[in-house]
A and B are shown apart, each in its own frame.
Chain A
Amino acid sequence: MIDQRLYEEFRDIGRDIFVTGMTSSHGGNMSVRVGDKIIIKRRGAQLGRLKPTDFVETSFEEKDSGIIRASTELIVHRAIYEKTSALAVVHAHPRTAIVLSLSRDEIIPIDNEGSYLLRKIPVVTVELASGSKEMATKVSEALQGYKVIMQRGHGCFAIGQTLEEAYAWVSALEEVSDIILEHKLLGEEMIEYRKHSESYAKW
């Protein structure tokens, strides 16, 4: 069901997410859309050590037995594919971004590269940690206008045409968050260098 090329992409990006500290050993998940099916990491598989048998193929819309083994977040992935033009979804737990999400309703990059790439990352609040309808609805709706969004206190969801693209947004988000945190820790006044920077809040 999953060909070698696609497996290698899952494996390599899963390993990168783990080794860069953006998830714990068994956290995070990823999926791609193929035709009217979703290929998603199976529940409990280690993102940094994915094997060809660690994937579940399930229907895009209808329930089937594949959901027994699929990631807990399958409901969120399905909603994202239904409501956006995403072809790949990456969910991770980038630590600094999670820290910022605890006190902010949006993360607005202050570095040049981050402003250029992301402009703004909205933060949505969901009571349950994972797998709820509320989470599926809020996350998928937020991703209609953004490539990556934060769920407060939990983690991020990013979308792309490929896993690599979605992972790039996750990686950029964490870099942006690190810079914000370190600048805040430094405690110095920021010298604005961007035109229209006030407009990023409205992005």
Chain B
Amino acid sequence: MRGWAGNILDINLTDGAIDVLPLDHEMARLFLGGRGLGARLLWDLVGPEVEPLSPENVLIFTTGPITASASQTSNRFNVSTKSPLTDTILHANSGGWWGMQFKRTGYDALIVRGRAEKPTLIEITAEGVSLQDATHLWGKTVFETTEALGQDRNKRNVLCIGPAGENLVRIAAIMNDKERSLARGGAGAVMGSKNLKAIVVEGTQKNQPADKEQFKFMLYETGKLLKASPLTSQALPEFGTAVVMNVVNEIGALPTRNFQQSQFEGADQISGETITDTILETNQACWACPITCTRITKTSSGKEGEGPEFESAWAFGAQCGIDDLDAITEANYLCNDLGLDTISMGNTIGCAMELAEKRLLHSDLRFGRADLLPGLISDTAYRQGLGNDLAEGSFRMAAKYGAPELSMTVKKLEMPAYDPRGMQGQGLVYATGNRGACHETGNMLGPEVLALPRLIDRFATQGKAGIVSVHQNSAAVIDSLVYCKFANMAVAEEFFARTLTAVTGETFTADDLMMVGERVWTLERLYNLREGFTKADDTLPDRLLNEPVAEGPSKGFTAQIPPMLEEYYAFRGWDKNGVPREKKLKELSLQFAIEVAE
């Protein structure tokens, strides 16, 4: 194959039908793969009448044209579906090996429809595609399932759900290669609703570049950039993603105790530096990645596993007022084994802690209670006791206890580890996120904190909407190729365009890619509008809009969403209600969605 394999595997679990559909090449050029292709296929397959946990919803696993090409970080893949947590369009992506291996089976995408009568697994190998009884695996954890199905790093790779997905927990993840995750938005519950326990892949095909000389040159040039960047060559390998914990805390943007403060006194104890000094065994890389940010750790009680990443360390740490690194790390391991999104889990527990402290929830839960984490996480996965409320996610839980305003969510997705009051652009990213409050869809950490590509004023609002839009478009195209966002912190889109050109033999410029990103972002917006979302959903929790930060470097600031939102809609060519104009749809070749436009 040269970029695209040209095939989509289509499996209906209800009747066991297995089909192979041709990949429309024009669609591939317009949406590339990954998140973009997933959104395009989902638009046709899942309309507003479909309940996320019904058999009519679909799971679409997609790779991109550079996947498995051996270009740096070309290991990632995507899943698209309608989210049972947010009811929005959902995309989630993951690294490791599974995506590369799936591509090698000769498919660009896998559509899973319907619902199997009993627990089922899909196996895709060079010999063919089969549906197998997985009753013996139902109830097993992710680690048990992955081992039972014969995970073999570069040859045979396992993707599965744990008990959380089986029990339709709305914050359940799909896990691959044991501890990598398609985490956000509850795709694990969709997989559970289909009685699909696992997908095992063994591939033999290769994604070979059309222009080998140019591809080699791009490998060389990209490698130079990754080596030259202190972030990708030193900080991430040595300290992992939690290298930013102290940095974000120092500027007063680390949400603490359910976003009641923006600095955590225990930040250093849960930072990348402390992880390296205390629990780190070694670092590891996904396939074809020189960055090696994965943490292989061992706690003082002798437990071993992957993590914690920055977001997980924050979610069980600052968000819950906990500075016990062992407890945080073991909470991370447990989420991996049970198949849970660590951000949503930690954020939701933090919300429950505030509910309990305000006597709205009758529980001995309090900020700082690290001892309660294992029980809460396990109860969530199995929907026991308070865990049954936590399993619904922060918004539904807080609403049940009469205080939805204490849920730190956008469109019901739990916020990650940046306080929008200290990073105005990040606030706009959260407010306008198509899958809800998500930092991965336009992270402003680069320009607002790390000076990548240039430092901008994190408190400024004028002109911020354009930068946010460009970052959102960029994230959308990287998720469609599919590359890793960390690579993009050192490598600009023009490099990805030239590598894509070398792999496919078809010319792409940086601006071609940015237009793909805008197209994908706009289609996701249209999907959500078709679902009934409106401008009113492009906002932040009241706390962030109206309660100024009390202390620290962000003291006195609130999130200034309304003026930025007006500028944002104008920049994107949308009307004042956030509806893309017909002209914009034509520019982006999205005429098929014109029914939703103004």
In the assembled complex, which residues on chain B have CB atoms less than 8 Å from the CB atom of A87?
463, 466-467, 470
Q: Separation in Å of the B429 CB from the closest CB of chain A?
A: 14
B454 adjacent to A168 (CB under 8 Å): yes
Contacts between chains A and B (CB distance < 8 A), count: 85
In the assembled complex, which residues on chain B have CB atoms less than 8 Å from the CB atom of A83?
511
A144 adjacent to B511 (CB under 8 Å): yes
In the assembled complex, which residues on chain B have CB atoms less than 8 Å from the CB atom of A84?
511, 514
A52–B221 CA distance with the chains assembled, in angstroms: 42
Q: Is B228 at the interface (CB under 8 A from chain A)?
A: yes
Q: Which residue of B lies closest to A166 (CB)?
A: B454
Query: Which of B220, B454, B511 is close to A162, meaning CB atoms less than 8 Å apart?
Result: B454
B473 adjacent to A85 (CB under 8 Å): yes
Q: Which residue of B lies closest to A3 (CB)?
A: B462
A202 adjacent to B453 (CB under 8 Å): no
Main secondary structure of the interface of B (DSSP, over half): helix
Q: Separation in Å of the A108 CB from the closest CB of chain B?
A: 14
B470 adjacent to A85 (CB under 8 Å): yes
Q: Is B566 at the interface (CB under 8 A from chain A)?
A: yes
Q: Which residue of B lies closest to A167 (CB)?
A: B454
A144 adjacent to B509 (CB under 8 Å): yes
Q: Which residue of B lies closest to A195 (CB)?
A: B220
A35 adjacent to B570 (CB under 8 Å): yes
With A6-B462, A85-B514, A145-B510 in contact, do A161 and B217 touch (Cβ < 8 Å)? no
With A85-B473, A195-B220, A199-B217 in contact, do A34 and B510 touch (Cβ < 8 Å)? no
Q: Separation in Å of the B51 CB from the closest CB of chain A?
A: 38
Q: Is B90 at the interface (CB under 8 A from chain A)?
A: no
Number of residues from B at the complex interface, CB < 8 A: 37
Q: Is A160 at the interface (CB under 8 A from chain B)?
A: yes
A32–B213 CA distance with the chains assembled, in angstroms: 38
A161–B566 CA distance with the chains assembled, in angstroms: 19
Q: Separation in Å of the B574 CB from the closest CB of chain A?
A: 10
A165 adjacent to B453 (CB under 8 Å): yes
With A5-B460, A145-B494, A196-B220 in contact, do A35 and B453 touch (Cβ < 8 Å)? no
Query: Which of A35, A36, A85, A202 is close to B511, meaning CB atoms less than 8 Å apart?
Result: A85
Q: Separation in Å of the B216 CB from the closest CB of chain A?
A: 8
Q: Is B457 at the interface (CB under 8 A from chain A)?
A: yes
A145 adjacent to B509 (CB under 8 Å): yes
A162–B451 CA distance with the chains assembled, in angstroms: 12
A27–B299 CA distance with the chains assembled, in angstroms: 64
Contact with B along A149-168 (1 / 0, CB 8 A): 00000000000111011001
List chain B positions with a Cβ less than 8 A from chain A: 213-214, 216-217, 220-221, 224-225, 228, 447, 453-454, 456-457, 460, 462-463, 465-467, 470, 473, 494, 497-498, 509-512, 514, 566-571, 573
List chain A positions with a Cβ less than 8 A from chain B: 2-3, 5-6, 32-37, 83-85, 87, 116, 119, 144-147, 160-162, 164-165, 168, 195-196, 199, 202-203
| 13 chain-A/chain-B pairs, Cβ below 8 angstroms | A5-B457, A5-B460, A5-B462, A6-B462, A32-B463, A35-B569, A35-B570, A87-B467, A144-B509, A145-B497, A145-B509, A165-B453, A168-B454
